[in-house]
Structure 1
Amino acid sequence: MKKSIMALLIVAIICIAGVALAAANPFDDVPENHWAYAAVNKLAKDGVIDGSGYRIFGGDRPMTRYEMALVVGKAISNAAKADAENKVLIDKLSNEFQTELENLGVRVKALEKKSEKLTVSGFLHLSEQVWRNSGVYEGSYFAAGKNPGYGSESPHADDGQWLALGVDLFTKYKVNDKWQLVIHDDLTRDAQSGSFAVNSSASDGLLSGQQRGCEIYALGTTGVTNVKVGKFDYVPVYGMFLWPDNKAVVGAQFSVGNPQALKATATYGYLRKSWSGTTVNPRILSGTTDNRYAALELTAAIAKDANIKAAYHMVRNDGNYTNSLSGATDVVKPYATDMRFWELGADKMLTPKLKLYGEIERSNADSENKAFIVGLTYGKADINTPGSFSITGRYVHWDVNSSVNHGTWMAGQAHGAKGPELASNFIIDKNIGIMTWINYMSPTDGTSGKIRTIKTELDFYF
C-alpha cells in the first residue's frame, strides 16, 4: 500500500478517535481558493509527490489543514528530487502549515515507519514468443543425434510459439535501518496448456517447470561493506557469463566502494544445479553434484561518463551431467572439473541518452572458449513517465565453453550462438510498458542452423 494511502488512514483514525491536536480549530477546511491547492497540484504534476492534488483524498471536498499538512510532509521528504522552483513552493507550504506539521510529525512519522517495514511490489506480464529455428537448432530439445547429453538448444520443446502469463512478486521486510529481507517469486503459466511449465511432456503441469528458482536473501551493511546472503540474482559486468534473471547464486556476496569511483564485489557459494524453465550450459554446470562458485568483480569510473568493468570466475564440480529426460549420466567434454573465466568490459556515454558498451570474455577450455559483445543503448524507460523508452541493439558471440547461460529466451549450448539482437521497452502509460526482444543467431562451431525468435511482452507494474 502506498505511503500516501497509509498516511490517510492514520489521519482518519486520529480524527475518529478525537485526538486533541494542538492547533486552533485544527480540522478547519483549507478554503477552495487557497494558493496551497495550486502549489500541491504543481508538486504532484512534477512528480515530487504522488497523486493529483487534493483529489487523492477522495471526492471534490476541500482538504482539512491536517490533510494538507500530510501532503506537505510528503513533499518535504521528497525535496531532494524537486527542482529549485518546487523547493521554493515546499518551503512556502512548510511555513503555512508549520503548526500542523509539528503536531503530525511525531505521531504520523512513528506510525508510518511501522507500516513501511513490509512492502510488496512487482509486475504482471503477458507474453508471446515465436521461433523459426533450423539446422542444428531445429526441434533440438535433447534432439536425438544432434546434442546427445548436452541439453536443449531452444528454451522450449518445439519450434512454434508460446503464449504465457506470469507474475514477479517482490516482498521486502525491513529488519532495521541497515538490513532487510527480500523474497522474489517468479511464476509463469503456459497459456496453451494452463500448466506451470514449458511445452514439454516431461514437465507439463509441474509447478517447478517455470517457477524459476526464486530469490530469498538478506541484504544489509556491516561497516562500509554491503552484504547479500541467501539465493539471489547476479549479473557481473554486462551479462556475458551469468544472464539476468537466472537467480543463480546460493551463497554470500560482499561489496565495498562506490560504483561512481571504484567498487569491488566478491561472491562465494554455489551455482544452481536445477534450472527448470531456463536453458543452461551443461558443459559448465553439473546437474548431479555441487557447482562451487567464487568470483571477484571490479567496477571503476574512469570519467564522469565512462566506466570499465572486470570479473574473474571459478566453477568447480565433478564433471558429471545427468540427461533430465533419459536419466543417463554422461561426462561432458571437453572441460575439466575446474573452469576459470575472465571478463573485461567498458561503457561510454556518447550523448546524454546514447551509451556505447562492449565486453570480451574467455574461459580456460581448450577450444570454443571465447565470447564478446558490442552494443548501443538509447534512452531510459521510466515506468512513471508515459512515452519514455529505451532501445538496445547489439552483436553477441558466445562460444560453447564460454558462458553458463546464453539467454533466457534463446540458447545455443551445444553449438554456440552468434548474431544480432534488438531489445526495446516502451512505457505506454504510467506503470504499463511493452517490451520487445528479437534475435537472429547462428552456430559458432561451423555447423549449419539458425535461431530466429521474437518475443513481445505487456507488463503491468505495481
Structure 2
Amino acid sequence: MKKRLAAMITTALVVGVASTTFAAANPFVDVPAKHWAYDAVTKLAQAGIVDGYNDGTFRGDKTITRYEMAQIVAKAMVKSDKADAAQKAALDKLAVEFSAELNNLGVRVAKLEASQSNIKFTGDARVRWVQLDRAAGGGLPAEPADNDFTYRLILGLSANVNDNTSFTGKIMTNGHRPLGDDDTTATDQTGGNEMKIAEMALTTKNVLNTGAAVTVGRYSQKIGATGYFLATTGMVDGVKASFGNKVKTTVGYANFKNAIAGVTTTDYQIEDAAFVTADYNLSKATALNASYVQEQNGDISDYKVYDLGFTTKFAPGWVLTGEYLKNVADVPATRLPAATFAPVEDPYGYVVKLGYKGANFAKKDTWGASVEYFKFENGVLTAGGDYAAAGIANQANNREGYALTGNYTLAKNMVITGVQTFGSKLVHTGADRSEYSRVQVDYKF
C-alpha cells in the first residue's frame, strides 16, 4: 500500500464523520467506485479532511510528506467530537507523533491534551518469600520465624495541577501481608489486610521565585546513599524543600512513625524529625551524598545521625557504593532495646557494596548481581526501609555480615530478585545469628 493512501485510510478510521451511504458522484476521477478504498476516501472528502488536486485527482500512489500528513491530522482534529473513544485514542497518538508539524501549522496540541484525563495511573505488584528462623539459646533471644509467602500491591497516581504544581499519590496494601491472611484487626504498620494511602503529596516548583520545589503531604523519602538508614515507600508525613543545581539539597521536617515497618514498641523508632540531604556529582562517574537527621522528642532524642556516602562507576557495568553513619544522640541506657544487646555510646555503622549491571524492567534477559559487607552497632539504625535488602536493614542493629543480591528480568515488566545473607553475627559478642533469605517477583504495569 502506498504511503499516501495508507495515511488517508488511517485518518478515515480515526474519525467516523459520515454515514456509509454516499452520493453517486465520484469525488476523484482516479478512485473508481469499485476500488477497495473508495468508501474511506469519500468519507474524508465529504468531511473536508482531504481536497485532492485541482485536476480532480486523488493521487493515492503519491508518497505523502510529514507536513502533508500533519495537515490531514489537523483537519481530523476539528472533527474529533464525532469520533468514538477508540477513534479519539488513535487521533491522540497521531497528534503526538506529528506535534512539531502541527505546532508549525498553528494547531495547539495542548488544547487536545487538555480535553483528556490528566491523571496517570501505574501499578506495582509483588509476591515474596522470606525465611528467617532461629530459636532462643546461648543467652540470645529467639528471632522471629518468618517463612511465608507475602504480597504487596501499589496503585500509583500522578497529575499536573497547573504549570507549577503536580500531585502524586499511592494506594498500597498495608505492608507485606501473608497470602491467605485476611486479618483486618492489627494496628501496626504491617498489620491488617486493608489498603492505605501511602502517598498524597503536592509539589510546587520555583516557590516565591526562589528556584526551590516544595512538597507538602505524605511522601516517600530516602536518606543515605544505600537506604540502610531509611528508604520508605510513602508514609512520611511532613514538608520538604529541594533546591540547588551543583549541590542538590533537600531539607524537611516530618513524622516517620508510620513509615517504620513492623515496630510495635519504641525500639529503634523515629517519629518527628528534621532532616537534610545533599548530593554532589564529583564527576560523571562519582557522586557524593551527605545527610543529617535529628529526631525531635522533647529532651530525649533517639537519633542524631550523621551520614556520608558515595557511588562510583569505576568500570563499564561496575558500581561501588559505600556509606558510613554515626548516631551521636544521648540515649539513656534504659531506653536501649533488648537487654541482651550491650548499650553503645555513639554507635556507628557502615556498608560497602560492589554491584554489576542490574535488571531492567523494560528489557527481557537483563540481570545484575551485588555483594556487600555491613556492620552496624546497636542503636544506629531505624527499623524501617525499602532497601533492596530491607530485611537485612531491619535486622542490622548490632549485626555484621555479608549479603548477596541477584536480579533478572523474566519478561518485560517482570523482575525476580534473590537475597541471601551469610556470616551474620552480633557486633558486641561475635555470636552467630540467623541468616536471611528472600526471593521475590515484582511486576510493573
Under a length normalisation based on structure 1, what TM-score does the superposition of the two structures give?
0.66
Determine the structure 2 residue equivalent to 1:165.
151
1:279-332 CA distances to partner (integer Å, 9 max, x unpaired)? Answer: 58834436xxxx32111111111112111111111002258xxxxxxxxxxxxx
For the residues of structure 2 that align with 1:247 and 1:176, how far apart are their CA atoms?
23
Out of 290, 296, 313, the position equivalent to 2:293 is: 313
For the residues of structure 1 that align with 2:156 and 2:11, how far apart are their CA atoms?
25
Determine the structure 1 residue equivalent to 2:308.
344
Determine the structure 1 residue equivalent to 2:402.
420
For the residues of structure 2 that align with 1:387 and 1:102, how far apart are their CA atoms?
42
Within 5 Å, give how 1:264-279 maps onto structure 2: 264-272=249-257, 275=260, 277-279=261-263
The DSSP-based 3-state class of the residue aligned with 1:112 is helix
For the residues of structure 1 that align with 2:352 and 2:61, how far apart are their CA atoms?
57
1:439 paired to 2:421: yes
> Measured at CA, do residues 294 and 209 of structure 1 come closer, stay the same or move farther in structure 2, by a change above 3 Å?
farther
> Measured at CA, do residues 246 and 70 of structure 1 come closer, stay the same or move farther in structure 2, by a change above 3 Å?
closer
Q: Is the 2:126–2:442 Cα contact (8 Å) retained in structure 1?
A: yes
Which amino acid in structure 2 is aligned with residue 307 of structure 1?
A
Out of 179, 182, 204, the position equivalent to 1:220 is: 204
1:103-127 CA distances to partner (integer Å, 9 max, x unpaired)? Answer: 8953x64233442510110222222
1:199-248 CA distances to partner (integer Å, 9 max, x unpaired)? Answer: xx9669x9646757712111231231122111112112224564323535
1:121 paired to 2:107: no
For the residues of structure 1 that align with 2:134 and 2:163, how far apart are their CA atoms?
51
Which amino acid in structure 1 is aligned with residue 249 of structure 2?
A
> Measured at CA, do residues 344 and 191 of structure 1 come closer, stay the same or move farther in structure 2, by a change above 3 Å?
closer
The structure with higher relative contact order (CA 8 Å, sep 6+) is 1
State the aligned residue count.
363
- Cα shift at 1:439: 2.2
- Cα shift at 1:433: 1.6
Determine the structure 2 residue equivalent to 1:397.
375
For the residues of structure 1 that align with 2:379 and 2:191, how far apart are their CA atoms?
31
For the residues of structure 2 that align with 1:436 and 1:29, how far apart are their CA atoms?
61
- Cα shift at 1:411: 5.6
The DSSP-based 3-state class of the residue aligned with 1:387 is coil
> Measured at CA, do residues 196 and 307 of structure 1 come closer, stay the same or move farther in structure 2, by a change above 3 Å?
farther
Out of 50, 61, 64, the position equivalent to 1:23 is: 50
> Measured at CA, do residues 172 and 125 of structure 1 come closer, stay the same or move farther in structure 2, by a change above 3 Å?
same
Structure 1 residues 400-409 or 219-228, which shifts more?
Answer: 400-409
- Cα shift at 1:102: 7.0
1:106-149 CA distances to partner (integer Å, 9 max, x unpaired)? Answer: 3x64233442510110222222122243557x9xxxxxx967xx
Determine the structure 2 residue equivalent to 1:131.
132
Which amino acid in structure 2 is aligned with residue 266 of structure 1?
V
1:6-40 CA distances to partner (integer Å, 9 max, x unpaired)? Answer: xxx999674347894543369x999799799xxxx
Out of 194, 217, 220, the position equivalent to 1:233 is: 220
Report which of the two structures shows the higher radius of gyration computed on alpha carbons: 2
RMSD: 4.2
Gaps of 5+ in 2: 1-9, 19-42, 66-86, 330-343
For the residues of structure 2 that align with 1:210 and 1:130, how far apart are their CA atoms?
24
Determine the structure 1 residue equivalent to 2:283.
303
> Measured at CA, do residues 203 and 70 of structure 1 come closer, stay the same or move farther in structure 2, by a change above 3 Å?
closer
Gaps of 5+ in 1: 1-8, 37-63, 78-93, 139-144, 148-152, 320-335
For the residues of structure 2 that align with 1:119 and 1:208, how far apart are their CA atoms?
28
- Cα shift at 1:177: 2.0
The DSSP-based 3-state class of the residue aligned with 2:273 is strand
The DSSP-based 3-state class of the residue aligned with 2:221 is coil
Determine the structure 2 residue equivalent to 1:57.
none
- Cα shift at 1:356: 0.8
Determine the structure 2 residue equivalent to 1:451.
434
> Measured at CA, do residues 460 and 32 of structure 1 come closer, stay the same or move farther in structure 2, by a change above 3 Å?
farther
Out of 274, 280, 285, the position equivalent to 2:269 is: 285
Which amino acid in structure 1 is aligned with residue 248 of structure 2?
K
